[in-house]
Chains A and B, each alone.
Chain A
Amino acid sequence: MSKTYFDETHCAIGHPKSTFMQWMLTVDHKRIGIMYAAVMFTFFFVAVFTALAMRIELFSPGGQIMDGDTFNQAFTLHGVIMIFLFIIPGIPAIFGNIVMPLMIGAKDVSFPRLNWATFWLYILGCIIALSSLFIGEGVADTGWTFYAPYSMNTDTNVIMALVAAFVLGFASILTGLNFLVTIHRLRAPGMTFFKMPLFVWGIYATAWIQLLATPVVGITLILAILEKYFGIGIFDPAKGGDPVLFQHLFWIYSHPAVYLMILPAFGIMSEIIPTFSRKEIFGYRTIALSSASIAGIGYLVWGHHLYTSGMSDTAKTVFSFLTFFVAIPTGVKFYDWIATMYQGKIVLSTPMIWALGTIITFAIGGITGITITMIGLDIHLQDTYYTVAHFHYAILGGVVFLMFAGMHYWFPLITGKLYNETQAKIAFYLQFVGFNLLWFPMFIAGYYGMPRRYFDYLPEFQIYHQISFFGAIIFITGLIYMFVVFYKGWTKGEASTPNPWNATTLEWHLPTSPPPLENHSKVPYVDFEPYEYKNGEPVVKFDYETMRRID
């Protein structure tokens, strides 16, 4: 068998002999992607652990295992890690790196060394974030939103968290920049924008958000740091500063950031649905353009987080009106996916059931997002568990679930092995049931007036929190089991062929599995649509030596 990217690599500096240094210095997009995955997944478990600790604490009213301040630090740590370390960089950094260049037939991204440097910048950010745990008064207790003036007043180590978020933001900007240039420059000859796979569209739209929204939060965090050290006054009411301005600046980034999370996830969905329906996707162009319009409109709706902040009523109306228009392109995507299944041949493999499960959970997440963008209702539901349930349905039930779908889908490509289907499905059902049990009761608690970030609560809410706790246990069991299945697959699984799913896009047209160092043996010429099926078989076939079409 020929050599794969596990056997050899290019390095940023020199030609190190040791395998370890080869990984540390690698500029190969696939290896960098895997390293991101490894790191993110480690942090991820830190955040899961804090989440579990919170759920135990909330099992019944009164203090259980921690005091109020620790709880405040716990949800901040949970939020910061989940958002800044895990889910925002998540799909772009992992799958964007690993499969996006393969999908467009490129040898690597446009700036491989920048990619390498970005990875280490990301690590630096993570280190700063984690070291705030041990330095000074401990990790910040502001919530992941860092609202002024609380973040200016608290004694905890907010500065470290802000610096970390800034550094991570920079890593995110550079990733986006790299991908934008890659997509513009390195598409295989013949591949026009409307011949790109939809995942690439998702990454493209995302990259624009990373590039143009992240600097705003970057400078906001810098201003907050300057405020704290030099008293420039802009968030300090004692000097005439307005705390609401901070919220504007923060959400100008952080709302687009939620689309930054979901758009590449939708991209994964758009890959999986046609592949396992053995049918060309319905409405390719509308899906592609809806990604772009979600990104575009997404810039203009941040104010729906400020409905009760004291913002002017006119602005509330405007933001509410605009926000509804995000739901339209999202809905169009959903209907297009369902229409793709019509008259297809639906293979319920693990990636497909993850995708279909996500259609259910994200629809709930999205629709409850619509609830809270009706201003009158948000006045009641803002900062309650209704909101918390909304975004866990959207993030966990949308982005993370689709990330798992992607992990199952591209697992054979990345590792060259197959996992056990039955076991993987069991893991799915555990997580799906656990997830709904975990978060659905929170909608009810929120509607009855359970505020978020509460360490203690009124006894009426106990029942919801307890159901939720058991849901969390089931969920995390399924989660761990899923990783066990992956681990077993990677170490002991059957070898996979280059195209185990009968998929059509270019990343499945590689000479070996896992792919060799510089991807396709030659760059293909692309004169076909991304999802061409005929009678359930991919239309396009390549001779993997010369990469010429042989169908």
Chain B
Amino acid sequence: MSHEYVPEIATDREGNEYEVQGWQGDFYAGKLGFWLFMLTEVMMFGAMFLALAYYNTLHPQDFLDASASLNRVLGGTNTVILLISALTMGLGFLKMRTGDVKGAKLMIWATILLAIIFLVIKGFEWRAEYNHGIFLLHDQLLPESSLPFGQKLFFGLYFTMTGLHGVHIIIGIGLMLWLLQRINADKVTPEHHIFHLNIALYWDIVHLIWVFVFPYYYMIGAGGATGGH
């Protein structure tokens, strides 16, 4: 397909000329489109938070109890890791725009590394919970267990939402690898960096989701709430 942008001119009755926006190489359209896409992510996670708040309203105390039993140290570490990865991502993009392609690549690698660490920590956390008998289709979360409804729902949603967030992280890693490949192929350059911008935006929204997931799951029960189960 060859669609180089041929600048077009529209002419009105008086002969005044107006530049026409073509769809080819429309940087702003790329950005706008990606923002709109991110709004759909907002709605998706919004709906899940809605479900969470729904049961929270029905079982406030159970939610506090369940929250208190999560591992805040690991959760907090992961928060900081994502924070830093957002920085590396941002700096990478900044470097790309200023022409430092090599630095940009380095930053992307750093981000990938941080993402992997995040996943590993998450894995440890899930494993510990599994050992406590808390896991989907397992022990405490089965219908016949005596864990209160509120806690069952809390953990059910906890695995769902952190799981889906994890899926986003994995997709993000894939996208970053693809980005590196495109940079190497000279398809993404300091002059033509919309792809890089959008992946940076994607990574930020992944981070953004965690900014809400973290306090809702790990912190609400951190106060004087009586211990877990």
A and B: direct contact (Cβ < 8 Å)? yes
Per a CB cutoff under 8 Å, which of B29, B39, B137, B150 touches A181?
A: B29
Chain B 13-27 interface mask (CB, 8 Å, partner A; 1/0): 100101111110010
Given A211-B39, A525-B10: A234 and B44 interface contact (C-beta under 8 Å) = no
Given A189-B18, A219-B47: A234 and B156 interface contact (C-beta under 8 Å) = yes
Give the interface segment out of A64-72, A122-130, A241-249, A471-479. Answer: A241-249
Per a CB cutoff under 8 Å, which of A10, A188, A241 touches B3?
A: A10
A527 touches B12 (CB 8 A): yes
A107 touches B23 (CB 8 A): yes
Chain B 30-70 interface mask (CB, 8 Å, partner A; 1/0): 00110011011101111110110011001100000000000
Given A12-B1, A111-B29, A241-B153: A230 and B47 interface contact (C-beta under 8 Å) = no
Chain B 134-149 interface mask (CB, 8 Å, partner A; 1/0): 0011000111000011
Chain B 91-104 interface mask (CB, 8 Å, partner A; 1/0): 00000000000000
Q: Pick from A113, A214, A231 the residue with the most CB of B within 10 Å.
A: A231
> How many B residues touch A, CB cutoff 8 Å?
51
CA separation between A252 and B51, bound complex, in Å? 13
Q: Which residues of A contact B141 (CB under 8 A)?
A: 231, 233, 239
Asked if B11 is an interface residue, CB under 8 A from chain A, the answer is yes
CB interface residues, A 238-296, toward B, < 8 Å: 238-242, 245, 248-249, 252
Q: Which residues of B contact A236 (CB under 8 A)?
A: 143
Asked if B152 is an interface residue, CB under 8 A from chain A, the answer is yes
B156 touches A239 (CB 8 A): yes
Asked if A549 is an interface residue, CB under 8 A from chain B, the answer is yes
A107 touches B10 (CB 8 A): no
B12 touches A249 (CB 8 A): no
CA separation between A157 and B156, bound complex, in Å? 24
Q: Which residues of A contact B20 (CB under 8 A)?
A: 188-189, 523
A215 touches B55 (CB 8 A): no
A548 touches B55 (CB 8 A): no
Q: Pick from B43, B136, B142, B160 the residue with the most CB of A within 10 Å.
A: B43
Asked if A547 is an interface residue, CB under 8 A from chain B, the answer is yes
B10 touches A188 (CB 8 A): yes
Per a CB cutoff under 8 Å, which of A109, A112, A184, A249 touches B32?
A: A184
Q: Which residues of B contact A113 (CB under 8 A)?
A: 1
Q: Which residue of A lies closest to B41 (CB)?
A: A215
B150 touches A240 (CB 8 A): yes
Per a CB cutoff under 8 Å, which of B12, B32, B137 touches A185?
A: B32
Q: Which residues of B contact A522 (CB under 8 A)?
A: 8, 10-11
A216 touches B23 (CB 8 A): no
Asked if A98 is an interface residue, CB under 8 A from chain B, the answer is no
B153 touches A523 (CB 8 A): no
Q: Which residues of B contact A241 (CB under 8 A)?
A: 153
B23 touches A232 (CB 8 A): no
Asked if A418 is an interface residue, CB under 8 A from chain B, the answer is no
Per a CB cutoff under 8 Å, which of B28, B33, B54 touches A242?
A: B54
Asked if B81 is an interface residue, CB under 8 A from chain A, the answer is no
CA separation between A14 and B2, bound complex, in Å? 9
A239 touches B149 (CB 8 A): yes
Per a CB cutoff under 8 Å, which of A109, A173, A214, A231 touches B23?
A: A109
A211 touches B36 (CB 8 A): yes
CA separation between A408 and B141, bound complex, in Å? 58
Q: Which residue of B lies closest to A13 (CB)?
A: B1
B10 touches A220 (CB 8 A): no
Q: Which residues of B contact A177 (CB under 8 A)?
A: 33, 36-37, 40
CA separation between A179 and B191, bound complex, in Å? 26
CA separation between A240 and B155, bound complex, in Å? 12
Q: Which residues of A contact B156 (CB under 8 A)?
A: 231-234, 239
Asked if B159 is an interface residue, CB under 8 A from chain A, the answer is yes
Shortest distance in angstroms between B206's beta carbon and chain A's nearest beta carbon? 16
Given A240-B59, A245-B51, A549-B13: A232 and B41 interface contact (C-beta under 8 Å) = no
CA separation between A220 and B43, bound complex, in Å? 11
CA separation between A188 and B21, bound complex, in Å? 8
CA separation between A109 and B36, bound complex, in Å? 16
Q: Which residue of A lies closest to B46 (CB)?
A: A216
Asked if B205 is an interface residue, CB under 8 A from chain A, the answer is no
Q: Which residues of A contact B149 (CB under 8 A)?
A: 239-240
Given A109-B23, A189-B19, A523-B20: A238 and B12 interface contact (C-beta under 8 Å) = no
A-B contact pairs, 5 of them (CB 8 A): A177-B36, A186-B21, A211-B40, A233-B156, A234-B153
Nearest first, the 9 A-B pairs at minimum CB distance are: A240-B149, A189-B18, A232-B156, A215-B43, A525-B12, A233-B156, A238-B143, A525-B10, A215-B40
Q: Given contact pairs A215-B40, A216-B47, A222-B164, enumerate 15 new A-B contacts (beta carbons under 8 Å).
A: A185-B28, A186-B21, A188-B20, A215-B43, A231-B136, A231-B142, A234-B156, A236-B143, A240-B152, A242-B58, A249-B50, A249-B51, A522-B8, A546-B11, A548-B12
Q: Interface of A with B (CB < 8 Å)?
A: 10-14, 27, 106-113, 173, 177-178, 180-182, 184-186, 188-190, 211-216, 218-220, 222-223, 226, 230-234, 236, 238-242, 245, 248-249, 252, 522-525, 527, 546-549
